[in-house]
Amino acid sequence: MSVWLHLTAGRGPVECRLAVEGLVRALCAEAAGVGVEASVIDQAEAEQGLLSAVVSLEGDGAEALASTWRGTVQWTCPSPVRPGWKRKNWFVAVDLLEPARVGAGGIAERDLRWETFRASGAGGQHVNKTESAVRLRHLPTGIVVDCQSERSQHRNRAMALARLGAALRLREEEARRQAGEERWSQTVEITDRGGNAVRVYKGPGFTRAR
């Protein structure tokens, strides 16, 4: 059974995106050290670093490892892109990514349109000869999600639903922000991140400090 961990820089600056990139490497290295197979199955690239990434963990210790990462992870390092910048603490949110449930969270079966197609790129003959890739359209919002990172169509459908659920939550957060709640939400976020980091990493090499 696999566990998906979603790491995101949220609305953080470029340093947080660099933190996502470095923490993905740290997570994969730690997983290898405890016999858990880790692979990056989805990522949103930025000009520098990653906006977000989904790491699949598989093996007997996958759930236990994932539980130690859930929450806010802090990276303490002078900005590598803004020399002399006073701020040295950057934060990444980490949580489980689970398929959204049809019928919950504003997702209705009648609003979904599924398509299947052959995956492209690396993956070998199996990937290229079967229609394992999926495209999901959410009709009310126009959101379109393509997933082809998994060999199984079932797993790609699950990933598509997970990404759709995440996209819908982001839309809701943006709507609240535009409605005038931005100042309140930022205050809560900063307070939470400042004192409740589940892990702390330091320096350009992402050495774990706590």
Q: Among the ranges 102-111, 116-125, 153-162, 177-186, which has the highest mean pLDDT value?
A: 153-162
- When pLDDT is cut at 50, 70 and 90, the band that residue 123 belongs to is very low
- 55, part of any domain: yes
Could you list the residue range(s) of the whole structural domain that residue 18 is in? 2-98+190-208
Q: What is the pTM of this model?
A: 0.70
Range 134-139 contact pairs with CB under 8 angstroms and sequence separation of 24 or more: 134/160, 135/160, 136/112, 136/160, 136/161, 136/164, 137/112, 137/113, 138/107, 138/111, 138/112, 138/164, 138/167, 138/168, 139/111, 139/112, 139/113
* CATH of residue 43: 3.30.70.1660
- 133, part of any domain: no
Mean pLDDT in residue range 121-142: 71
Q: How many structural domains does the chain have?
A: 1
- 195, part of any domain: yes
Range 201-209 contact pairs with CB under 8 angstroms and sequence separation of 24 or more: 201/22, 201/23, 201/26, 201/73, 201/74, 201/75, 201/76, 202/75, 202/76, 202/77, 203/76, 203/77, 204/22, 204/77, 204/80, 206/22, 206/23, 206/25, 206/26, 206/75, 208/26, 209/76
- What confidence score (pLDDT) does residue 202 get? 97
Over 70: is that where the pLDDT of 129 sits? no
- 168, part of any domain: no
Which is more confidently placed, 121 or 77? 77
- 143, part of any domain: no
- 59, part of any domain: yes
Mean pLDDT in residue range 145-162: 82
Q: List residues bridging with 143 in a β-sheet.
A: 138
Over 50: is that where the pLDDT of 188 sits? no
- What confidence score (pLDDT) does residue 185 get? 42
- When pLDDT is cut at 50, 70 and 90, the band that residue 197 belongs to is very high
- 51, part of any domain: yes
Query: What is the C-alpha to C-alpha distance for residues 135 and 126, in angstroms, rounded to an integer?
Result: 19
- 154, part of any domain: no
Which is more confidently placed, 155 or 39? 39
